[in-house]
C-alpha cells in the first residue's frame, strides 16, 4: 500500500484515526505508539533545546537527514564513526568538516534509551529530528511513517557521490531520479535552502572568477555581490567562512512556496528511500557504532 498524504485532508485524517494503520513498505505512522509513546515529545524537546543553543542546528539536522538518505537509503549510516576496523561516511568530501548535528542525535538517543531501551532506531530518530527542525523553524509539519531499521554498513564512496553545488543541474537531477524522486521533488527539496548557511568555497568562483573569466557572475545582483565578496574575500582563508542562504531570515523556514504540502510530500518520499524494515538491519544502542 503506497503511503502518501496527497489526498483530501479529511479523508487522510479519517483514515489515520479510524481505519487500519497506514502502511508504507512496512513503515507505520503508529509504529512506536505502544513501545515508546513519548518518542515525539522527547525528540521535539531535545531539538528545541539544541536550537536554543545553536541557531544553525535546525538546517544542519535537515541536511544530515538528506545526506543519510542519499547514501544507501535512510538507514542511519551517516551517523557511524570510522574506527580501525570500519570506514564510515563522515570523512567523505561532502561530509568532512561540513555535516553537523551528530551530538544532537546522540542526546536524543541517550534519552530514548532511558525511556524505551533498544527500541527506536537511529534512522527513525534522524528522520523525526529533521521534521522537528523544520517545524520548529516555522516550516511545514508532516506525519512521519516509522519503523526504519539501522544499517550495519556505510559507504564513503557513495557519500562522495552526493549531489554537489559544483554539479551541473542535469547531474543533480539524475541523482535525485536515481533515488526514485521526480523533477518536482528536486525543485521542492532544494527549497530547504531557505534557511541555513553555505561555506564560501562552494560559490566563491561566481564572485571572482566565473567560468574562468577573472570576473564575477554578471547575473548576480550588485548589492548581493558586494555583500558576498565582503563575507568571502578572494583568499583561501575565507573558504570556510559562512554566508547565510537567506540573509533576511537566516534561521526561519519562511518561503511561502515551500510551506505548502509539496515540501511535506517530497520530504516523506525522501524519508522512504531504500529503508530497512522488519528483521533487516538492527536497532543500534549507540548511533555511532554497529551493535
In the set 44, 63, 65, 67, the catalytic residue is: 67
> Is 68 within any annotated ligand binding site?
yes
> Is 250 within any annotated ligand binding site?
no
> Is 20 within any annotated ligand binding site?
no
> Is 249 within any annotated ligand binding site?
yes
Three-point CA angle 76, 139, 267, nearest 5°: 40
> Is 211 within any annotated ligand binding site?
no
> Is 254 within any annotated ligand binding site?
yes
Query: DSSP strand E in 180-245: where?
Result: 197-199, 242-244
Query: DSSP strand E in the chain: where?
Result: 23-24, 27-28, 197-199, 242-244
> Is 73 within any annotated ligand binding site?
yes
What is the C-alpha to C-alpha distance for residues 209 and 232, in angstroms, rounded to an integer? Answer: 13
Does the annotation count 67 as an active-site position? yes
- Hey, CA dihedral for 244, 60, 211, 214, is it positive or negative? positive
Alpha carbon separation from 197 to 30, 46, 102 (Å, rounded): 34, 22, 18
> Is 43 within any annotated ligand binding site?
no
- Counts of helices then strands in the chain (DSSP H, E): 11, 4
> Is 77 within any annotated ligand binding site?
yes
Binding site for substrate: residue ranges?
163
Binding site for Ca(2+): residue ranges?
68, 71, 73, 75, 77, 89, 194, 246, 249, 254
Residues acting as catalytic residues: 67
Binding site for heme b: residue ranges?
193
Binding site: residue ranges?
68, 71, 73, 75, 77, 89, 163, 193-194, 246, 249, 254
Amino acid at each position: 500500500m503506497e503511503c502518501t498524504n496527497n489526498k483530501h485532508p479529511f479523508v487522510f485524517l479519517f483514515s489515520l484515526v479510524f481505519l487500519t494503520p497506514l502502511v508504507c513498505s512496512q513503515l507505520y505512522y503508529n509504529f512506536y505508539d505502544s513501545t515508546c509513546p513519548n518518542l515525539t515529545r522527547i525528540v521535539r524537546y531535545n531539538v528545541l533545546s539544541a536550537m536554543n543553543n545553536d541557531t544553525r542546528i535546525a538546517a544542519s539536522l535537515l541536511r544530515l537527514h538528506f545526506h543519510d538518505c542519499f547514501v544507501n537509503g535512510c538507514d542511519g549510516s551517516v551517523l557511524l564513526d570510522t574506527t580501525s576496523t570500519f570506514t564510515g561516511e563522515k570523512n567523505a568530501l561532502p561530509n568532512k568538516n561540513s555535516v553537523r548535528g551528530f551530538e544532537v542525535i546522540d542526546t536524543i538517543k541517550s534519552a530514548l534509551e532511558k525511556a524505551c531501551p533498544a527500541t527506536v532506531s537511529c534512522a527513525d530518530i534522524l528522520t523525526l529530528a529533521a521534521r522537528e527542525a523544520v517545524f520548529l523553524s516555522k516550516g511545514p509539519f508532516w506525519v512521519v511513517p516509522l519503523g526504519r531499521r539501522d544499517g550495519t554498513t556505510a559507504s564513503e564512496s557513495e557519500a562522495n557521490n552526493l549531489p554537489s553545488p559544483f554539479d551541473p543541474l542535469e547531474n543533480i537531477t539524475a541523482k535525485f531520479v536515481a533515488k526514485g524522486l521526480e523533477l518536482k521533488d528536486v525543485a521542492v527539496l532544494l527549497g530547504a535552502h531557505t534557511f541555513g548557511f553555505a561555506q564560501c568555497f562552494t560559490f566563491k568562483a561566481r564572485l571572482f572568477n566565473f567560468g574562468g573569466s577573472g570576473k564575477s557572475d554578471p547575473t548576480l545582483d550588485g548589492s548581493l555581490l558586494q555583500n558576498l565578496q565582503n563575507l568571502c574575500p578572494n583568499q583561501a582563508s575565507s573558504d570556510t567562512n559562512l554566508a547565510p542562504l537567506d540573509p533576511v531570515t537566516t534561521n526561519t523556514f519562511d518561503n511561502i512556496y515551500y510551506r505548502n504540502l509539496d515540501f511535506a510530500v517530497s520530504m516523506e518520499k525522501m524519508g522512504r528511500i531504500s529503508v530497512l524494515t522488519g528483521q533487516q538491519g538492527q536497532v543500534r544502542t549507540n548511533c555511532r557504532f554497529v551493535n
